[in-house]
């Protein structure tokens, strides 16, 4: 006997006879295990996308959170590390200050011997300055290494007259060092107005110059040497005459440091 498959076909119209369809044999399904349930849901009620009336319940699942948490955490870690390093440096500086009590070295120009000035000739000058600088290190526990690469320049107004360098040496604690440096210039052209001004100032016994010193140094604290620090010294000096027997009438030096 044949079996009808649901949903059934529409009933035949009048005059037509229904033709029975052959039975379809379906394989036997295994019986479910005891204590389990099989729930059959019609296919038309399975949704891959929630229906509009329930969409608001699942809206939060479709929103992807921006991946900012990782970048923010990295920035926070970097900022924390930088702050920790700055704090450690500040603590170390404070400890060094209170333990070693550093004081700034003092600089002054002791003597200047001048050659090569002929104020009556319009020819270019080749001035020479033999300058003696006094450096005083007043610290009890700090030494100073004067490294290569220094420069010493003498100016008259904004005219660079001659150049030179400091010797390389180590200045121990509580020490006064006098170092002499020879500064030379060549082909320095001065106009008549400048020559007249120099002559008048020499007659009055007060010729002003500026000496600018730049020296890379390393500070020795105990057994530790720091990185290179640039010492900057600017001295305003006045001499009585432009000869080898000139004397320093006045000198005033300012001291500064470039840490990096």
What pLDDT, in 10s, does the model give residues 129-168?
A: 999 999 999 999 899 999 999 999 999 999 999 999 999 9
Q: Of residues 221 and 173, which shows the higher confidence score? A: 173
Answer yes or no: pTM beyond 0.75.
Answer: no
CA dist list (Å): 125 to 16, 118, 157: 134, 7, 16
**How confident is residue 29, by pLDDT bands cut at 50, 70 and 90?**
low
**How confident is residue 86, by pLDDT bands cut at 50, 70 and 90?**
confident
CA distance 102 to 92: 14
Write out the CATH class of domain 106-258: mainly beta
DSSP letter (8 states) at residue 56: G
**How confident is residue 74, by pLDDT bands cut at 50, 70 and 90?**
confident
pLDDT digits (tens, 9 = 90+) for 175-194: 999 999 999 999 999 999 99
Length of the chain: 260
* Residue 110 near residue 132, CB atoms below 8 Å: yes
pLDDT digits (tens, 9 = 90+) for 31-45: 656 666 666 767 666
Strand pairing partners for 216?
230
Mention every residue, 6+ apart, whose C-beta is less than 8 A from residue 138.
Answer: 103, 105, 106, 174
């Amino acid at each position: 006997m044949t079996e009808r498959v649901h949903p059934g076909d529409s009933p035949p119209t009048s005059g037509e006879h229904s033709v029975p369809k052959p039975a379809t044999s379906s394989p036997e399904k295994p019986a479910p295990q005891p204590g389990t349930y099989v729930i059959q849901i019609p296919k038309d009620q399975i949704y891959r996308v929630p229906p509009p009336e329930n969409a608001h319940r699942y809206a939060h699942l479709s929103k992807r959170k921006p991946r900012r948490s990782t970048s923010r955490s990295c920035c926070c870690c970097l900022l924390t590390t930088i702050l920790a390093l700055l704090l450690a440096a500040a603590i170390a500086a404070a400890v060094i200050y209170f333990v070693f009590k550093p004081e700034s070295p003092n600089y002054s120009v002791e003597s200047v011997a001048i050659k090569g000035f002929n104020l009556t000739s319009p020819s270019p000058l080749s001035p020479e300055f033999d300058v003696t600088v006094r450096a005083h290190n007043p610290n009890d526990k700090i030494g100073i290494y004067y490294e290569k690469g220094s420069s010493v320049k003498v100016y008259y107004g904004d005219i660079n007259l001659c150049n030179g360098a400091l010797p390389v040496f180590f200045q121990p604690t509580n020490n006064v060092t006098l170092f002499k440096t020879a500064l030379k210039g060549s082909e320095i052209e001065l106009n008549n107005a400048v020559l007249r001004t120099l002559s008048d100032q020499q007659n009055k016994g007060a010729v002003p110059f500026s000496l600018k010193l730049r020296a890379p140094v390393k500070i020795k604290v105990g057994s530790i040497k720091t990185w290179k620090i640039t010492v900057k010294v600017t001295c305003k000096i006045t001499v009585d005459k432009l000869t080898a027997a000139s004397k320093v009438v006045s000198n005033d030096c300012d001291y500064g440091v470039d840490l990096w």
